[in-house]
Chain A
Amino acid sequence: MTRPERFEDAPESPLLEVTKLATHFLTPEGRVRAVDGVSFTLERGRTLGVVGESGSGKTVLADSIMGLLPRRGVEQHGSIRFEGREIVGLTPTEMRPYWGAQMAMVFQDPMTSLNPVMRIGRQITESIHEHFSVPREDARESALALLRSVDIPDPERRLLEYPHQLSGGMCQRVMIAVALACGPKLLVADEPTTALDVTAQAQILDLLQAQQRERYMAMILVTHDLGVAATRADEIAVMYAGRVVERAPTRALFADMRMPYTDALLHSIPRLTQPSHTRLEAIRGRPPDPLRILPGCRFAPRCTYARDRCRVEEPPLRPADTPGHEFACWYPINTPASAMSG
């Protein structure tokens, strides 16, 4: 199966350009600002790690980019440009050529995102048939090749099996094969390893990385694990309460993190060097109620360094010393006192 190259795409425009994206859910209780003004740019072949705790809006961000949110009760502002073309506000029919063929998604739980009564081979060929008119035999060959490329042993046999006959890790490999089937340019992986055990996690992440490099895909890796993002992403965006609070190339972020929330996230990862029974450092408090966002910095109520200004005025995302590094904090950490500005 060959994918038609699209030379008409302007190569200068970045693959994905998200500008001031806001996704609000209109619920009977009020407006839930799940994503509230997120901007970033993703170049071809790069990986963006989106990190944040539960409820920070990272999954909604992923679904917004994919255009998979229900249209009722959802309000979207801002812009998402895919290869220069606006995709916010497109109808499902208009999005369909993008789904699978241009952008694909790997979901959190492989056991539920595969159809329990459909053979593995069929699940892979299904979208090939949807996007390309190829003979069944060719589709089957591509499915075989895909299963091989995601390191599934004995692919001929697996083609005829059902999801329940595979382990969780194998199912996630199949999901990745499904997502890769039509050669997408963007792969959105929403917590792809959260439902897997630790050894399978590393393998799946390695696989994603290898495939991403081989195919020169861009990838958005959504995870709650800063450690996962640190080793796999070129750039990391830390989300909190629907906003990006710090964004930087991975190296720059760890060398010089500014936002106390990023720092707190990092410190909540247990380290092997700590003696046994060391109390795990947790971020105290809970994320703000998305229905009632208070003025000021959204992290202020939980921040060790918060001062009066933090509770009144919301800090904008502003550039740090390293190019590409931005953070939203009035009193950033790791800053010489003189550089602290108001």
Chain B
Amino acid sequence: MDESPRSSELLEVETEIAARESPPRGRRRAFGVSGWIAVGWMVLVIGSSLLAPILPLADPDVSNASIARQGPSSAALLGGDANGRDVLVRVVYGARASLLIGFGAIALGLVVGGALGLLGGYYRRGIDAGIAGAFDVMLSVPALILALTFTVFFGPNVRNMILALGIVAVPQLGRITRANTLAWSDREFVLAARAQGARNGRIIVREILPNVLPAIFSIALLGVAVAIVAEGGLSLLGAGVKTGTITWGTMIATGRANLAITPWVVLAPATAIFLTVLALNFLGDAIRARFDVREAAL
């Protein structure tokens, strides 16, 4: 019964705390109108990309001569590209791969970097020196070049893109986890758990991790935004996902040849990236704001 996901428990705590600390206002101050717009946009993007196959949308790869190079119209709300494919449909389908890469890469970075950060921050000494040193080395390699080399070398597909950007994310998220772990593991309740005979593993997972998570989640959301932009950048450099898979990055990369004639082909995915990154930043900040409230109250 106790194996319920920690995150839902956490969310409950946070909601409770937000409600207590500064009654009704607490929630609104943390989320605000912009926060709810951000939530709305993310729900729209994630929802439409998940439901794309069952939504009444045209096939993203089928050409329709009647909308080729045509601007937004009732037939194609965001216009058609040079090959007569519906830009809106392609943005919706592009969201699938882009979001998968963004969230996938950060999930990878979160799991690997988070685990290493927890170990380093908790055990300190030799283990920490090794892990922190490895993070420093990884951070000193230019991220874009690392990801570029990786995808060029192993092949440009979604999986390798996730791996490449995930590797870049490991030291970033790892360092933040480590810093938070260092702070939390000095708290008295950790000593109290030790005095009750708790094993190190139990202390890390049960005592420290739940306290570190809120901070890491807020950073991770910002990381997703960065990863989505990075995917676009890699595509623009020609190291993106191979043609055939639609991502926002590849749409921009292929559309840029006709930028002067059909700007909407580039503008639509670019705007989608812009809004998504903005929304993720807002959400990350909202989570951090709540987290800070709790920190201050302790």
Contacts and interface: CB of A to CB of B under 8 A. Distances in A.
Interface in A77-131: 92, 96-101, 104-105, 107, 109, 111-118, 122, 126-127, 130-131
A146 interface: no
A300 interface: no
A22 interface: no
Contacts of B191: 68, 107, 113
A66 B211 CA distance: 26
A99 B189 contact: no
B197 A182 contact: yes
Contact of A178 (B192, B194, B199, B202): B192
B203 to A, nearest CB: 10
A99 B196 contact: yes
Contacts of A105: 192, 195
A68 B211 CA distance: 22
B298 to A, nearest CB: 6
A68 B125 CA distance: 18
Contacts of B197: 96-101, 127, 130-131, 182
A164 B20 contact: yes
A7 B137 CA distance: 57
Interface string B26-57: 00000000000000000000000000000000
Given A130-B199, A130-B202, A68 B189 contact: no
B16 interface: yes
Nearest to A116: B298
Contacts of A115: 189, 193, 206-207, 210-211
B198 interface: yes
Interface string B1-26: 11000000110010011001000000
B59 to A, nearest CB: 48
| Size category of the binding interface on chain B | 20 to 34
B145 interface: no
Interface string B184-220: 0001110111111111001000110011000000000
A112 B192 CA distance: 10
Contacts of A111: 298
A175 interface: yes
B195 A100 contact: yes
Secondary structure dominating the interface of B: helix
A177 B175 CA distance: 37
A109 B210 CA distance: 21
Contact of B297 (A114, A117, A126, A164): A164
A130 B195 contact: no
B194 A68 contact: yes
A181 interface: yes
Contact of A126 (B9, B17, B193): B193
Interface in A51-73: 66, 68, 72
B1 to A, nearest CB: 6
B194 A99 contact: yes
A162 B298 contact: no
Contacts of B189: 112-116
Contacts of A96: 197, 199
A136 B192 contact: no
A127 B194 contact: no
Contacts of B206: 115, 118, 126
A179 interface: yes
Contacts of B9: 117
Nearest to A129: B202
A311 to B, nearest CB: 39
Interface of B: 1-2, 9-10, 13, 16-17, 20, 125, 187-189, 191-199, 202, 206-207, 210-211, 294, 297-298
Q: Closest 4 A-B residue pairs measured CB to CB?
A: A100-B197, A127-B196, A99-B197, A100-B196
8 contacts: A96-B197, A104-B196, A107-B192, A116-B13, A117-B13, A118-B210, A136-B1, A164-B20
